[in-house]
């Protein structure tokens, strides 16, 4: 019986995720689910997208954290439309949380919505929030074994962002090992190597977002 109850809950979550997607589609908003570890640079990546797409596309953000609104305040100071969700003990955002958050977002003035999920490479992957694509974020500082250890994210993501590549000379990160592990799981997934600190790869990151926005 517990299995049946769990299946019913997941079906309901998927249903709400679908409703979120339809609401976003009707408003002309392309949503992305950004998934990465704490400290991988999720908020910095959003800031980079904002600067890169300034004058090209309007970006809104839903921020997921267990507690605090530090990242939301940081993004609002740039002028971004950002809304905070605190999950308490929850390890991921849910479709219901996003449904409620969307009611407080000015969807008519947003073209791209980036949902920064709670820092976690496991739990967020299994939930459809209404996004058109999951973005898998890894950073050099975490090590080169993340695709091997957390295969579901790298299997489900539409793109992988490898952040903090400026740190490679200062770590034992092996780029070849990273790609070997990733390609064993998802042979064709595109990878964008980025340094939010130096700006390397940021243009390509912005172009990827714009291309997805044009094709939806």
Cα(203)–Cα(208) distance, integer angstroms: 9
The string of pLDDT tens digits covering residues 196-215 is 999 999 999 999 999 998 87
The string of pLDDT tens digits covering residues 45-57 is 999 999 999 999 9
**CATH number for position 20:** 3.40.50.300
DSSP 159-176: EEEEE-GGGGGGS---HH
Q: Whose CA is closest to 216, among 93, 144, 111, 76?
A: 111
**Global confidence as pTM:** 0.94
Q: How many helices (H) and strands (E) does the chain have?
A: 8, 7
Tally of structural domains, the chain: 1
Host domain of residue 91: 2-215
């Amino acid at each position: 019986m517990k299995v049946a109850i769990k299946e019913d809950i997941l079906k309901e979550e998927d249903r709400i995720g679908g409703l979120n997607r339809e609401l976003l589609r009707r408003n002309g908003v392309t949503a992305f689910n950004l998934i990465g570890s704490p400290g991988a640079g999720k908020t910095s990546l959003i800031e980079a997208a904002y600067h890169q797409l300034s004058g090209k596309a309007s970006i809104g953000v839903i921020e997921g954290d267990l507690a605090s609104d530090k990242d939301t305040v940081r993004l609002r100071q740039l002028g971004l439309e950002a809304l905070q969700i605190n999950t308490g003990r929850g390890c991921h955002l849910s479709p219901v949380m996003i449904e409620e958050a969307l009611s407080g977002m000015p969807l008519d003035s947003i073209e791209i919505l980036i949902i920064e999920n709670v820092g976690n490479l496991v739990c967020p992957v299994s939930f459809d929030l209404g996004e058109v694509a999951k973005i898998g974020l890894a950073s050099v500082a975490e090590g080169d074994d993340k695709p091997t250890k957390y295969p579901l994210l790298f299997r489900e993501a539409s793109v992988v962002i490898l952040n903090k590549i400026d740190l490679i000379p200062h770590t034992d990160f092996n780029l070849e090992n990273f790609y070997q592990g990733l390609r064993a799981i998802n042979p064709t997934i595109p990878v964008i190597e980025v340094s939010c600190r130096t700006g390397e790869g940021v243009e390509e990151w912005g172009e990827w977002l714009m291309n997805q926005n044009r094709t939806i």
